[in-house]
Amino acid sequence: MVVLIVLIALALVALVIVSAINRKQEREQARRMQQRKLKIQAEALVDIVNCLEQTLPNPAMAKYINDETVNLLQQILALETGTKTHIENSIRHALLRSEDLAGGKHPPGASYQKDSDAQITQTQLHLDEAVKILRHLCVQGKFSDTELEAYTSELSWAYLMVSVASFIAQGYKFSALQDRFSAQSYYQKAQSLLMESVHPNPRRVRMIKELSEIMEGSRRTMSRDLLPERIIPE
């Protein structure tokens, strides 16, 4: 009887130990999964910030989204049980980036123009995601509804201009090669997008008019104020 009791007691102790180990492993797995999820989200935000910096002249939106990257990295840091140096360095880098953006610093060469259809598509996807994130931040009270309206208008204009500016650049390229047929085709694509759009930006109507003048041969390029970047044929 004593032996049986001892065996039962040992079995119970073993079950308790196994249960405790399983719970610890489950908690560790949940922690790692949460970290992985946050890391994926942070990396996605970094891609969007990079896109905005490379596309838009206004750094304000990139700053707000970069601040969210900092928040996610801080959550990752709080979950970390091992070496934290890498995460802390990432946070410092993100904080410095937000400071630069808040100060109006912007990498040179921001341009609507992209070099391939894949770049155009990827940029427009990032612009769409930026709109969703900014709407979420506005709900959180990070900025006013009026600011959100201005940001979404700027982003929707950028979405249109990524295609338009890229087509115009291709038109310039083929014009320089004396390939009038190909150049006209790209100018027409750009003009069609502008004509199909209902965006209220007053530059849209001017661009339609100037593209007609380019196709008619009465002008060579768009006015500089209509395209903030200088498009140089390759």
Q: What does the mean pLDDT of the chain come to?
A: 90
Residue 92's pLDDT is: 97
CA distance 29 to 51: 33
Q: Is 37 inside any structural domain?
A: yes
Q: Is 199 inside any structural domain?
A: no
Domain CATH code at residue 86: 1.20.58
CA distance 55 to 114: 9
pLDDT digits (tens, 9 = 90+) for 121-166: 999 999 999 999 999 999 999 999 999 999 999 999 999 999 999 9
Q: Is 84 inside any structural domain?
A: yes
Range of the domain at 43: 16-108
Q: Is 212 inside any structural domain?
A: no
* pLDDT above 80 (res 62): yes
Q: Is 115 inside any structural domain?
A: no
Q: Is 145 inside any structural domain?
A: no
Q: Is 71 inside any structural domain?
A: yes
Kind and range of the H or E run holding 190: helix 180-196
Q: Is 51 inside any structural domain?
A: yes
* pLDDT above 90 (res 20): no
To the nearest 10 degrees (0 to 180), the angle between helices 117-139 and 2-55 is: 110
* pLDDT above 80 (res 182): yes
pTM of the model: 0.86
- What total of structural domains would you count in the chain? 1
More confident residue, 30 or 13: 30
Residue 154's pLDDT is: 96
Single out the residue of 196, 179, 188 nearest to residue 215, CA to CA: 188
Residue 4's pLDDT is: 67
Vertex 216 angle, CA 194 and 178, to 5°? 100
